[in-house]
A and B are shown apart, each in its own frame.
Chain A
Amino acid sequence: MAGIVTKKAGSGGDLRPPHISEPKIVKWILIAISIIFLCSIVLLPLIIVLFESLKNGIGLYLESIVEPDAMSALLLTITVAVITVPLNSFFGICAAWAITKFQFRGKNFLISLIDVPFAVSPVISGLIFILLLGTNSALGAWFESYNIQIIFALPGIVLATMFVTFPFIARELIPLMQAQGIQEEEAAASLGASGWKIFWRVTFPNIKWGLLYGMILCNARAIGEFGAVSVVSGHIRGETNTLPLHVEILYNEYQFTAAFAVSSLLVFIALLTIIVKSFIEWKTHQQQSQMQEVDHHG
């Protein structure tokens, strides 16, 4: 039954009789609308960052990037990402293991709770840590008595970033591990493999690309988070300024070239993220079609 018309017309959907698809003119109008829309909303903003940052010469561009405040902002941003991504990855793996390999009550509720940070405005994500750990709160006062500063310092920035990026990896892994089921792990367990061995030898090879995918997204958001970090950072130049906050300060001081130059660093990270993401998608697609081929022959 499947594809009678397509098969008669030759193979491939593009060779369907013309009256089944839209008229050519409609097709070209829709493509034109798409391209114009994407250019004016997404592509041109990207190009203007590079254009504005290089407008006054490469010398000024490099100067704005190697300047000490920019460098310390870069260092802080990397530090935050290096702490946040592994912790959230570990959480994501634990949560996905518990949720997908076992049955328990309230599982769907737990999954919804993990998604909660997606629904919270970035500014509120920062606010909650001020309420919890600011100098006005009991916990904040306690930390202060030991001279530990949380808010307006690195720990606060890390906490706010962890909150904002919390669901990324778990969300990537849960559907993936759900689809893979538990038969392979059960087989390994019945052959006497230990928990760690089962994870590293059976589960991990199956989820490694999904995990990397989640980590890449988590990393991009950790580096770029603005609202939440802006609330808890205190904007101390050279100390608690991340790269996005540094961009804001430069922009508000009318140092546009410098603001766009620092932005271009973030643009490169974003482009790299997209390239890696697209590579992983290609890789998993390839794996899937290979598996299907094995299924056909087997």
Chain B
Amino acid sequence: MFFFGKRNVLPGFRRTFGFTVLYLSLIVLIPLSGVVWNTLGMSWLDFWETVTSDRVIASFKVSFLCALVAAFLNLVFGFIVAWALERYSFWGKRFFDNLIDLPFALPTAVAGIALTALYAPNGWIGRFFEPFDIQIAYTQIGITIALMFIGLPFVVRTVQPIIQELDKEVEEAAVILGASRLRTFFRVIFPQLIPALLTGFALAFARGVGEYGSVVFISGNMPFKTEIAPLLIMTKLEQYDYAGATAIALVMLIISFAILLLINIIQAKSNKTSL
């Protein structure tokens, strides 16, 4: 109907569109542009020296490495969980399905202290690793576990609906044509899930890089070892080094937007192929 350029009879476009743009500008765009403005006030050399100083580089390394490992582990286990929840029936399935949303609903600070208590050397889980001299809390392993908690629902909730929509007849056809179940999985099922898996991975990774609340308690916050980039921004702010904090923030923002763009491209591509 729209394609013929017919005038829309519904009222309220100007008012709702106007308010949308106004509110978006006031709450999101203007404040966010401040990061760019404030770094423009810095000289290029200052900016470069800040973001390439040893401590900042080390914190980026910790943040990205842990987020990458956590997103990858979530990809593997999140897929298994989504598959089990969609394809099998077992006792407590509905309970576990609802549990997946907990990281979305639980404040990150609570998750942080709970995971620390659990994985500390004398904690319920940490004590089993202590005899082997493996420390989980206050190391990069601990940071990774906190990021796994935060990122899990992103992977499961992106992949789950796609598994649900899979056409079972195609699998049956593959089997009838003589493929083993393993071959069917890798040649028929898995390719259909790749866009969703990639999206879930990217979402979990993006969230993990910026995460603060759940990590600060379990990380121990040792510079060069377990100090994440968001914490370094916090530290610089507390020392009133606004320029330094803003420079690190700008680098993180650029990276996050690049990831967001990547997700959009993946989704646009997979929409095209599915049509």
Contact = CB atoms under 8 A, between A and B. Distances in A.
B16 A127 contact: no
B230 A163 contact: no
B30 A163 contact: no
A283 B104 CA distance: 21
Interface residues of B, number: 93
Contact of A121 (B85, B99, B252, B260): B252
Contacts of A49: 110, 113-114
A128 B125 contact: no
B246 A127 contact: yes
Given A19-B175, A23-B181, A270 B81 contact: no
Contacts of A186: 9-10
Contacts of B35: 124, 127-128, 131
Contact of B100 (A21, A42, A267): A42
Contacts of A14: 89
A46 interface: yes
A273 B105 contact: yes
A119 B234 contact: no
Interface stretch (B21-29, B50-58, B191-199): B21-29
Nearest to A136: B242
B237 A231 contact: yes
Given A6-B168, A244-B213, A226 B81 contact: no
B28 A166 contact: yes
B210 A123 contact: yes
A142 to B, nearest CB: 15
A270 B29 contact: no
B49 interface: no
A52 B31 contact: no
Contact of B114 (A40, A46, A117, A274): A46
A42 B149 contact: yes
A128 B2 CA distance: 40
Contacts of B92: 35
Contacts of B176: 5
Contacts of B10: 101-102, 182, 185-186, 189, 195, 198
Interface residues of A, number: 106
A216 to B, nearest CB: 9
B160 interface: no
Contacts, number: 287
A69 interface: no
B133 interface: no
B13 interface: yes
Contact of A123 (B80, B117, B212): B212
A220 B104 contact: yes
B31 A128 contact: yes
Contacts of A113: 24, 28-29
A132 B30 contact: yes
Contacts of A120: 32, 210, 253, 256
A45 interface: yes
Nearest to B5: A103
A263 B20 contact: no
Contacts of A210: none
B101 interface: yes
B62 interface: no
B109 A248 contact: yes
9 closest A-B pairs by beta carbon, nearest first, are A121-B210, A224-B107, A226-B213, A45-B114, A227-B212, A195-B11, A270-B105, A123-B230, A98-B17
Interface of B: 2, 8-13, 15-17, 19-21, 23-24, 27-32, 34-35, 37-38, 77, 80-81, 83-85, 87-90, 92, 96, 98-111, 113-115, 117-118, 123-125, 145, 148-149, 152, 168-169, 171-172, 175-176, 181, 206, 209-213, 217, 230-231, 233-234, 237, 242, 245-246, 249, 252-253, 256-257, 259-260, 264
